[in-house]
């Protein structure tokens, strides 16, 4: 392991970005990252609300149009190297909100999938995924940050 990776390994910060969706993933992520039972801090990942400090951006929810610009802005100010983890079916494919074959067909209010907006490294499917899966997703994103030049 390089010196850089060793130094970085002790200061990984994850930030949650809620971009729509139903709150289910949001609370499971808070649970996973923060609560005593599922504890992501055992992998030396800390929780932050400051994008300038974050390394991993955890995105939940379909991307509503009011949240589109904030999302791009947040992604831009996270320093390199950075990784994006999409949690839940919502950012992966729009879930039930994208197209339920009702009268309006494809819903144009939402901007899922997330991949069409910013590059995504890890996808954690499920509605909502279990906190264990969210932790596994965040941990999978770590090598990208550690091994970056």
Partner 1 sequence: MSDQPKPANAENVVVEKELSFGPVHPALIEPYRIRLFVNDEIVEDCEINMNMVYRGVEKLLEGLPVERALLITEKVCGICSNVHAWNSVRVIEEGLKIDVPERANYIRTLTHEVQRITSHLIFFGHAFEVVGHETFAMRSFLLRETFMDILAYVGGNRVMPSVPIIGGIRPRADLTEGLKRAILERVDEFEKKYTEYVNRIVADPLVMSRLTGVGLLSKADAIKYHATGPTGRASGWDFDLRRDMKEYKSFDYNIIVLQDCDNKARVVQRALEIVESLKIIRQAVKNLPEGPVVNRSWIAGRMDFYTALLESYRGELMHSYALDGQGMIRSYKIRTPTPANLAAMEKACVGDHVTDAILTIASCDPCLACCTRAEVVESGRGRVMSDTEIIRKYGWRR
Query: How many Cβ atoms are within 10 Å of 102's Cβ, its own excluded?
Result: 7
Smaller CB distance to partner 1: residue 7 or 104? 104
Q: Does the footprint of partner 1 cover residue 111 (CB under 8 A)? A: no
Smaller CB distance to partner 1: residue 14 or 97? 97
Do residues 106 and 99 touch, judged by C-beta distance below 8 A? yes
What minimum distance in Å lies between the beta carbon of 135 and partner 1? 14
**Site stretch for ligand SF4 (CB under 6 A), options 37-45, 87-95, 103-111, 114-122:** 87-95
| Strand stretches in the chain, DSSP E | 12-18, 45-48, 56-60, 83-87, 122-124
List contacts with ligand SF4 (CB under 6 A): 21-22, 24-25, 60-61, 88-90, 95, 127-128
List contacts with partner 1 (CB under 8 A): 17-28, 30-31, 34-37, 49, 61-62, 64-67, 70, 74, 95-97, 100-104, 107, 109-110, 127-128, 130
């Amino acid at each position: 392991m390089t010196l850089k990776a060793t130094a970085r390994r002790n200061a990984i910060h994850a930030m949650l970005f809620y971009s729509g969706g139903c709150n289910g993933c949001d609370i499971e992520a808070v649970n996973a990252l923060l609560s005593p039972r599922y504890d992501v801090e055992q992998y030396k990942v800390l929780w932050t609300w400051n994008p300038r400090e974050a390394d991993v951006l955890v995105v939940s929810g379909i991307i509503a149009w009011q949240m589109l610009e904030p999302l791009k802005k947040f992604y831009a100010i996270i320093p390199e190297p950075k990784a994006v983890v999409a949690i839940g079916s919502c950012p992966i494919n729009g879930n039930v909100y994208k197209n339920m074959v009702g009268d309006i067909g494809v819903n144009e209010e939402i901007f899922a999938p997330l991949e069409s907006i910013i590059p995504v490294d890890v996808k954690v499917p499920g509605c909502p995924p279990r906190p264990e899966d969210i932790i596994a997703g965040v941990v999978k994103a770590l090598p990208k940050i550690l091994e970056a030049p």
